[in-house]
Amino acid sequence: MHLDLSVPATELTRAVVDIPSESGAEAVLADAVEEALAGLGGLRVDRDGDAVVARTDLGRATRVLLAGHLDTVPIADNLPSRVVGGRLYGCGTSDMQAGVAVMLRLAAVFATSAGSGLAHDVTWVFYDNEEVDAVRNGLRRLVANHRDWLDADLALLLEPTAGEIEAGCQGTLRVVVTVPGHRAHSARAWLGENAIHRAAPLLERLGSYRTRTVVIDGCTYREGLNAVRISGGVAGNIIPDACEVVVNYRFAPDRDVSQALDHVRETLDGFTLELADSADGALPGLTAPAAAAFVQAVGRKPVAKYGWTDVARFAALGIPALNYGPGDPNLAHTRDEYVEIERIDAAEDVLHRYLATEK
């Protein structure tokens, strides 16, 4: 499979989308990306599994990293891509092959000038398995195997943001709250203690919880504390002796996991809980000079990112990171996924302006 990087971004997006690359099956696309980048000349191209990393080495004072995942969610009868009106439809168009295509276009454009037009050194990171369990995530693997490939002053993830700058991300943790009871036949309920009934004050407390809103670098992070699963019951004639509630806390990045867990313990005081999983958030990092310059290039006020994204991996490495991409986050993972064609071109323009010496 060959990718021609000289075509316009929309056409290139189509070509990328039409190479199926569900998580775990990115090899064909990764090969095509690696071959196309190597063919440009002037870039050092490295490979780790199905991740491809390309870098300039121009000795610039700053390095900007552009990152995008090659994998898509499972194809839902929505390939090959098709253009309808001003939209390109198909699996991965929005999340995030349009971003991948913009990254490839920028590599091609600057390579033709042997990088002379670049204000920064640039690193391109294409990686696998973002849409599945974190343990398989290709960026996580790169951090472990080749931390040095990822050095940068600013990382931009071309995840779908509809052309907005989404800064930082909230952290997340899940706890399992166990409410005990005492089993009995339901015909003699007074001999037991109903664990499901005893969960009422827990749910009431969650329902009336007042969420925090935190403003950092002008970005507003709105938290959430929610039961995301409940289960209890033994049989239709048994007073249940246990009820389990999984609670998800999405917290602003001014707290780390440990502080967030303390807050949950305090809020759910009196209940027994255990931490099931967690991930730190990422501060917006907009005060870093490279980030501030990018915000100026885009010309739009950054907004907070609510979901957890791979920007947190860069934040954990001490690299400010932002999400900025042409796709629409609300269309990600839907059968009717599409990307507005004009947003692809706009993203390429913005990034070109930001990376180029002539502003």
Supply the residues annotated as catalytic: 71, 130
Q: Between residues 124 and 281, which has the closer beta carbon with respect to its own copies?
A: 281
Are the C-beta atoms of 212 and 295 separated by less than 8 Å?
A: no
Q: Min. distance of Cβ 143 from its own copies in angstroms?
A: 23
**End-to-end distance of the chain based on CA atoms, in angstroms?**
36
Give the number of other CB atoms < 10 A from CB of residue 132. Answer: 14
Beta bridge partners of 184: 239
Q: Between residues 84 and 187, which has the closer beta carbon with respect to its own copies?
A: 187
- Interaction with its own copies in 308-347: which residues (CB under 8 A)? 308
Q: Which of 73, 203, 279, 317 binds its own copies (CB under 8 A)?
A: 203
Q: Between residues 79 and 246, which has the closer beta carbon with respect to its own copies?
A: 246
Q: Does 135 bind its own copies (CB under 8 A)?
A: no
- Which are the contacts of 182, defined by CB distance < 8 A and separation ≥ 6? 191, 192, 193, 239, 241
Q: Min. distance of Cβ 83 from its own copies in angstroms?
A: 29
What does the alpha-carbon distance between residue 103 and residue 353 come to, in Å, rounded to a whole number? 14
- Interaction with its own copies in 178-197: which residues (CB under 8 A)? 185-190, 194, 196-197
HSE on the CB side for 81, CA within 13 Å?
A: 26
- Interaction with its own copies in 39-58: which residues (CB under 8 A)? none
What does the alpha-carbon distance between residue 280 and residue 95 come to, in Å, rounded to a whole number? 23
Q: Min. distance of Cβ 136 from its own copies in angstroms?
A: 17
Q: Using only the alpha carbons of the chain, give its radius of gyration.
A: 24
Q: Min. distance of Cβ 310 from its own copies in angstroms?
A: 15
Q: Does 199 bind its own copies (CB under 8 A)?
A: yes
Give the number of other CB atoms < 10 A from CB of residue 126. Answer: 25
Q: Min. distance of Cβ 129 from its own copies in angstroms?
A: 18
Are the C-beta atoms of 10 and 341 separated by less than 8 Å?
A: yes
Supply the angle between the helices 98-112 and 341-355 in degrees, to the nearest 10. Answer: 40
185: part of which helix (H) or strand (E)?
Answer: strand 184-185
Q: Does 307 bind its own copies (CB under 8 A)?
A: yes
Q: Does 278 bind its own copies (CB under 8 A)?
A: no
Q: Which of 227, 273, 279, 292 binds its own copies (CB under 8 A)?
A: 227
Q: Does 74 bind its own copies (CB under 8 A)?
A: no
Are the C-beta atoms of 161 and 323 separated by less than 8 Å?
A: yes
Q: Between residues 240 and 285, which has the closer beta carbon with respect to its own copies?
A: 240
Q: Min. distance of Cβ 234 from its own copies in angstroms?
A: 8
Beta bridge partners of 221: 214
Please give the backbone phi and psi of residue 44, each rounded to the nearest 5 degrees, phi first.
Answer: -85, 125
Letters for 237-256 (x = contact with its own copies by CB under 8 A, - = none) are xxxx--x-xx-x-x------
Q: How many of the chain's residues bind its own copies (CB under 8 A)?
A: 47
Q: Does 215 bind its own copies (CB under 8 A)?
A: no
Are the C-beta atoms of 169 and 155 separated by less than 8 Å?
A: no
- Which are the contacts of 219, defined by CB distance < 8 A and separation ≥ 6? 167, 168, 284, 286, 302, 303, 304
Q: Does 228 bind its own copies (CB under 8 A)?
A: yes
Q: Min. distance of Cβ 273 from its own copies in angstroms?
A: 15
Residue numbers at the binding site for its own copies (CB under 8 A)? 170, 172, 174, 185-190, 194, 196-201, 203-204, 206-207, 211, 222, 224, 226-240, 243, 245-246, 248, 250, 277, 306-308
